[in-house]
């Protein structure tokens, strides 16, 4: 995300929504993006550019690709960390990174919000 006012607001909202995903649950980049009225790449961009402190304190591992798996685009070390954190919260993944019994663990962030990010 750029340094624009809209980019800053989107970043803050992604971080806020990720912090609300309960332990033992997950949601997807796409679900958050739909709720925020942005594209999934906005959400992924924010999460891939967290500071060390944000990464340590934010449950980013609870956000998966739209199909309920660890993103195949994620760096291997991050994917391993995500898999271990999900497992620690009771979510098992198969060899391809798909969360098992996903319906039991899915967190619905809410319906699409009519936000226009480029305005104040």
Q: Which among 74, 28, 70, 67 is positioned nearest to 50, based on CA atoms? A: 74
Question: Helices (DSSP H) in the chain: which residue ranges?
Answer: 5-19, 29-36, 40-48, 52-57, 76-88, 102-105
pLDDT band at 110 (very low <50, low <70, confident <90, very high): confident
pTM: 0.89
Q: Which two tokens stand for residue 95?
A: 């060899």
Give pLDDT, residue 119: 60
Give pLDDT, residue 93: 96
Give pLDDT, residue 39: 93
Q: Which among 58, 61, 88 is positioned nearest to 74, based on CA atoms? A: 61
Report the top-level CATH class of 5-105: mainly alpha
Instruction: In whole angstroms, give the CA distance from residue 117 to residue 120.
Output: 7
In a 10 Å sphere around its CB, with 0-12 CB exposed, 13-18 middle and 19+ buried, how is residue 89 labelled? middle
Q: Which two tokens stand for residue 21?
A: 């995903």
Residue-range domain boundaries for the chain: 5-105
Give pLDDT, residue 118: 72
What digits encode the pLDDT tens for the residues 20-74?
999 999 999 999 999 999 999 999 999 999 999 999 999 999 999 989 999 998 9
């Amino acid at each position: 995300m750029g340094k624009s006012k809209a980019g800053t607001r989107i970043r803050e909202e992604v971080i806020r929504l990720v912090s609300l995903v309960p332990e033992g649950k997950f949601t997807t980049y796409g679900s958050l993006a739909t709720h925020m009225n942005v594209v999934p790449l906005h959400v992924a961009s924010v999460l891939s550019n967290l500071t060390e402190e944000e990464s340590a304190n934010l449950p980013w591992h609870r956000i998966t690709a739209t199909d309920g798996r660890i993103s195949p685009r994620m760096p291997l070390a991050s994917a391993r960390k995500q898999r271990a954190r999900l497992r620690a919260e009771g979510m098992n993944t198969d060899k391809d990174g798909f969360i098992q019994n996903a319906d039991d663990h899915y967190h619905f962030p809410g319906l699409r919000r009519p936000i226009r990010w480029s305005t104040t």
